Amino acid sequence: MSQKRRLIYLLFINVLMITGLVLVGLYSNSLSVLAAGGDFIADSLAIALGLFAIHRRDNHGDEKVTTYVALVNAGMLVLITFYVPIQAVGRLMTKSPEIHAQPVFIVAILSAVAMALGVYVLGKGAGNEDLHMRSVFLDTASDGISALGVALVGIVIAITHNYYWLDSVAAILISLIIGYGAIKLLFDVVKSIRTGQPMQTDDD
C-alpha cells in the first residue's frame, strides 16, 4: 500500500478520535485525555502536511520536503511536551478536580484500539522509511501506549473514587513519552538537513 493511502487512512482514524477525546476530556475534567486530544490534533496536522509533502516529492522530485515536514511535526510535539506538564503541575499544587472515570476509561480504550489499527495500517516497515513516515509511526505507537496508561488511571479512579491526582501524573508521563520521541526525531531531522541526505523512502 502506498504511503499516501496509508496516511489518508490514518488521518481518518485520527480525526474520528479527536472530537471524542476533546469532549470527554472537558466533560470528565481529565487533563490526560485532553493531552491525548492535543497530541491527536498535532498528529493530524502533521499527517496532512505529510500528504502535501508526498505530493511534492512524487510530482516534483522534492525529496527534502518530507524531512522538513518531520521537523514541523517534532516541533509541535515538543510544544505539547512543555505545555501539558505545566498544567499538570498546577493541578498537583492545588486540589485536583474530581475526575469522571468511566468516560475516561472508555475513550482511552477506544484510542488504544484506534492506534493499534493505525500501526497495522502503517505497517511494520514504516519505522524504516523516510523521516516523516518514521515520525508518524512513532507518534501512533506512543499514542497507543499512552492510551493504555490513561485507561489504567481511569480504572483506579473508578474503583476507588479517589486518587484524582493520578490523572495529572498520567498527563506528565504522556508528555515524557511524546517528548522522548520528539527530541530523538528532532536530532535525526537536524542531522539529515545538515548532511543533505534524507533517509531512503520505500513507497511500495
Closest to 36 (Cα-Cα) out of 139, 189, 132, 183: 139
Strand (E) positions, 100-204? Answer: none
The single-letter DSSP state of residue 64 is: T
pLDDT tens per residue, range 144-180:
888 998 999 999 999 998 899 999 999 898 888 778 8
Q: Are 88 and 172 in contact (CB under 8 A)?
A: yes
Q: Are 158 and 102 in contact (CB under 8 A)?
A: yes
The top-level CATH class assigned to 3-192 is mainly alpha
Closest to 54 (Cα-Cα) out of 123, 7, 118, 10: 7
Q: What is the pTM of this model?
A: 0.77
pLDDT tens per residue, range 78-125:
888 888 899 899 988 887 788 999 999 999 999 999 999 999 988 866
| Burial (0-12, 13-18, 19+ Cβ within 10 Å), 82 | exposed
